[in-house]
Structure 1
Amino acid sequence: MRFLQDMCDFREFTQSSIKPSIEAFQLSRMPAMFSISHARSRGTLAAAAIGFVVVLLDVSVVNVALDALRQSFDTDIAGLQWVVNAYTLVFAALLLSAGALGDRLGAKRVFMLGFALFTLASAGCGLAPSLAALILARIAQGLGAAMLVPNSLSMLQQAFPDPAQRSRAVGWWGAAGGIALAAGPVLGGVLVSHAGWRSIFLVNLPIGLLGLYLSWCHAESGQRSSASPKRGLDLPGQATACLALAALTYALSAAGSLGWEHPWVYGGLLLSLASAASFIAIESRSAAPMLPLTLFRLQRFTLASVCGAIINFAYYGLIFVFSLFFQIEQHLSPLQTGLAFLPMTAVLMAVSIFVGRLNGRMGARGLLLFGMSWAALGYALLWPVSIEGAYGWLIAPMLIASSGIATMVPTLTNLTLSSVAPAQTGIASGVLNAARQVGGMLGVAVCGFLVRGTEPAVFMQGMHRAIAMAAALLLAGFVLCWFGISSQDSAIDGKRQPNL
């Protein structure tokens, strides 16, 4: 009994003396642990934002180098279309599968692989000895970009488990992309004017190395994302989607030089239709489809996807046309071309900041109706443009058009997310982004076809048709929003997501 009593006394002594010391040590270490966690989260945000920045830079920066590329490789408008669209095509086609790959292998792993591929491909673009080599390197860039964007968001989800902190992090991520989109033409103009067109690709090398370093040091190494653990790779669907988009892009680009009656153009269109039909058949029967077709039974989701394609068709199609107009027809330098686009690109970022606050007051319907009509008005006011006209007359229409588009982009995201169940938000936002990229790719292909002749009279005729087409499509989007979104749904969306 005495022995047991001694043991109890010893246990009480150790609990009263050692335990407080351990607790004090743990409390002393907590600020350091919180500091380390905070630093890792901020480092992850920096890596994700840099990845988004390089993706959007290479969407916009190439446009100011079009004339330099035309002269360097002695190519035509169709060749320039492929330099732009090879990147966008692969980016759009592989966006959904790249997100699913990150779910399976880990967002950090796929993000870093995409960053490494994008950086190496940028070196390939900068060193390309021929137009064909440049287009192949742009394809590799598009693959890297597809791996970067969805997995950068997955890394942010893991790094910021608190919803409020995650919302702020995604806001900074989006702001970085907006800055890149606005600064891209100006940065490209400076680089092309002082260091040649190859520099717009080689500048990605130090940026890529920085992004890889930050993601390696700070991003979480989780094996799978908890958001979509059951997503798989739909290889047959992916193959048919790529084939359909590639064949359509080829047919639209080749029609300018070969004519619509050429067998290769006919063949491309037929192959695109057959591949698209096969894609729909595969997706409707697949147990784990790349694109769940059931989403399109939701009217507002379908409307958001169609409208996203329309606004990117108009925006990127006319950016391509005006790039050629400024450089080839008005003989502006790359730097002057970049500065000429500044009113159009800078307002995208400025207006986007305020749209989230307006969503709770006006709702999706009101914002989309305003954005479609305002952008259509801006493009309609650009229709009288002429080679001899003063640039000052273009500033107000550019501001009107781009502010209308900036109003719609975050609104469409809100409409998409409010249309689906919480478990489907990842795939739904991916479909919206893919639809927008496809719209931009088709805009460059179709508008490039219209301005395929560089002779002033022929070019201006095609340019006026491209502007009219963009305005008409935006008005068609206005009609779709008018009949497709009820005022009751709009009010519900405004109350549900006022801060998005």
Structure 2
Amino acid sequence: MTTTHLDELQTAPSQSGQEPDPRPFSRKALLITILATSLGFVLVQLDVSIVNVALAQIGTDLRTGVTGLQWVVDAYTLLFASLLLFAGTLADRIGARKAFVSGFGLFVAASLACGLAPIPTVLIVARCIQGIGAAFLVPCSLALLNHACRDDIATRARAVGLWTAAGSVALATGPVLGGFLVHALSWRSIFFVNLPLGAIGIWLTWRYVEESPAHQSDRFDLGGQLLAIAGLSSLTATMIETSVVGWSSPLVLLGFGIALICVVAFVLVEARVRTPMLPLNFFRNPTFSATTLVGLAINLTLYGVIFILSLYLQQVRHFSPIDFGIAFLPFPLVLLASNLASSWLGGKFGMRPLMVMGLLVASAGYWLLHKLDPTTPYVAMLPGLLVIPLGIGLAVPAMTTALLSAVPRSRSGIASGVLNTVRQAGGAIGVALFGSLIAQDAVHGVSIVFVASAAVIVAATMIAVFGIRPPKLDKAGTQ
């Protein structure tokens, strides 16, 4: 974070339908808040990239195949997605700092259990617990950032850009760090790196970060929460198992049926309860609806493609963990640079134009990789590995800022929880769906994955064009 950025991070009065906070927010306090919340996001993102590097060795050491490895990835993502709304609601109810620190502690404890897991089942269960911790880290970190920035749009855009960039640093560090750790020690060591980072994050948050205001409600929406978990679990498990029993299996059809029933029941429950976990009235705002759909498309393609590339490079091309880490390094490095550029470009050109441009670039990147086969030179893959993160890195901070601008600051915890629930659900579906496509025919499946990804992102571009609305500003530049 440069001095110029710090000088520009200033407090503005609230225009979100609540009383302005008269207390000044010092530059030092804001910097520490960004650092502490970014550490939480770093753990979530680092875990994604490091685990992908270690998949081949985990499969060999614990004697599990593609289906088992899909569960190692999706057990984490599934619980993460299922509990984000609950975490966002809890953050708004008791204060984001308390929930954030609790998530940190749970994530660290689960990381220790992952590193000590003797069999696949224990690893998968520990990954579930990691996902629960991650579910608290992401929406609570955004709620704390949003509170720290008050309602100053420029400040919030830069803070979110820096927060996102920190996650990109973790993605960039993960492949190389994970490769060296797996090579020098074992796959277990990749989980132990979370312990010191988590300890620092907990201390900084509890010692320095300002608590967000509590938004009291009558009770938690237990029915909605259980239906959300059941629906996402059924859908993800069914997609994973298609690679074993096939798409026409009665069990697969039953699984999809259960998932559909749970989704319909969830919407009906949320429309009737007094304090819904998912406030359906949020979706009356076209910007909120558009950003959540774009987030779904981005994560479905991105998480699915990263999973496919990790298996392609290590199992088809026989890259070692270190080789894979180095080969994949351009992807997160470009993502980092693009995130940083997005925080500046968003304030200059607006969120919708930046999202549209980023999505179109990402779609072109997916298309560049649609002809991968077992003999494709790495040099031929490189343009796609550079173009995809360039587009995604431009689009995601703009998407997040647009969503936060569409809701009152007091509801930012649940709003960010909705966005990240949809995104992580998309990631789980992407891994399950794309994994099933390559399980039967790896070469043809890879081609289908990249063509489908390009098409999905083009559809997301259209949603952004017609759905995103610029926020209404006053003369001070606030909402």
User: Which interval holds the TM-score relative to the shorter structure?
Assistant: 0.7 to 0.9
Q: How does 1:267-416 map to 2 (within 5 A)?
A: 267-360=254-347, 362-416=349-403
Q: How does 1:2-401 map to 2 (within 5 A)?
A: 43-156=32-145, 170-220=160-210, 225-226=212-213, 228-230=215-217, 232-360=219-347, 362-401=349-388
How far 1:100 sits from its partner (Å)? 2.1
Whether the 8 Å contact between 1:100 and 1:232 is mirrored in structure 2 is no
Deviates more, 1:144-153 or 1:378-387: 144-153
Amino acid at match of 1:437: Q
Aligned-partner Cα distance in 2 for 1:232–1:190: 48
Residue of structure 1 in register with 2:9 after alignment: none
Aligned-partner Cα distance in 1 for 2:478–2:309: 35
Aligned-partner Cα distance in 1 for 2:80–2:394: 24
Greater relative CO (CA pairs within 8 A, separation 6+) = 2
The verdict on how the C-alpha distance between 1:493 and 1:183 changes in structure 2, with shifts beyond 3 A counting, is farther
Whether the 8 Å contact between 1:234 and 1:288 is mirrored in structure 2 is yes
Spell out, residue by residue over 1:262-292, the C-alpha distance to the aligned partner (whole angstroms, 9 max, x if none).
Answer: 3332222111111111111110001111111
Choose which of 379, 401, 424 in structure 2 pairs with 1:437: 424
Whether the 8 Å contact between 2:34 and 2:163 is mirrored in structure 1 is yes
Whether the 8 Å contact between 1:360 and 1:497 is mirrored in structure 2 is no
Aligned-partner Cα distance in 1 for 2:129–2:300: 23
Aligned-partner Cα distance in 1 for 2:401–2:150: 21
Computing the radius of gyration from Cα coordinates, the structure with the larger value is: 1
Give the secondary structure class of the aligned counterpart of 2:439: coil
Whether the 8 Å contact between 1:360 and 1:498 is mirrored in structure 2 is no
Q: CA RMSD in A?
A: 2.9
Aligned-partner Cα distance in 1 for 2:252–2:475: 48
Amino acid at match of 2:387: I
Spell out, residue by residue over 1:305-334, the C-alpha distance to the aligned partner (whole angstroms, 9 max, x if none).
Answer: 111111111111111001000000000011
Q: TM-score, normalised by structure 1?
A: 0.83
The verdict on how the C-alpha distance between 1:215 and 1:423 changes in structure 2, with shifts beyond 3 A counting, is closer
Asked whether 1:472 is paired with 2:425, we answer: no
Whether the 8 Å contact between 2:70 and 2:435 is mirrored in structure 1 is yes
Alignment coverage as a number of residue pairs? 455
Higher helix proportion, which one?
A: 1
Give the secondary structure class of the aligned counterpart of 2:277: coil
How far 1:253 sits from its partner (Å)? 0.3
Residue of structure 1 in register with 2:4 after alignment: none
The verdict on how the C-alpha distance between 1:389 and 1:496 changes in structure 2, with shifts beyond 3 A counting, is farther
Choose which of 431, 434, 442 in structure 2 pairs with 1:459: 442
Spell out, residue by residue over 1:151-203, the C-alpha distance to the aligned partner (whole angstroms, 9 max, x if none).
Answer: 23444466676958777655543332221122222211111111110011112
How far 1:430 sits from its partner (Å)? 2.4
The verdict on how the C-alpha distance between 1:368 and 1:147 changes in structure 2, with shifts beyond 3 A counting, is closer
Q: TM-score, normalised by structure 2?
A: 0.87
The verdict on how the C-alpha distance between 1:113 and 1:424 changes in structure 2, with shifts beyond 3 A counting, is closer
Aligned-partner Cα distance in 2 for 1:294–1:60: 35
The verdict on how the C-alpha distance between 1:107 and 1:420 changes in structure 2, with shifts beyond 3 A counting, is closer
Amino acid at match of 1:211: G
Whether the 8 Å contact between 1:359 and 1:498 is mirrored in structure 2 is no
Residue of structure 1 in register with 2:17 after alignment: none
How far 1:294 sits from its partner (Å)? 1.6
**Identical aligned residues as a percent:** 43
Amino acid at match of 2:464: C
Whether the 8 Å contact between 1:189 and 1:337 is mirrored in structure 2 is yes
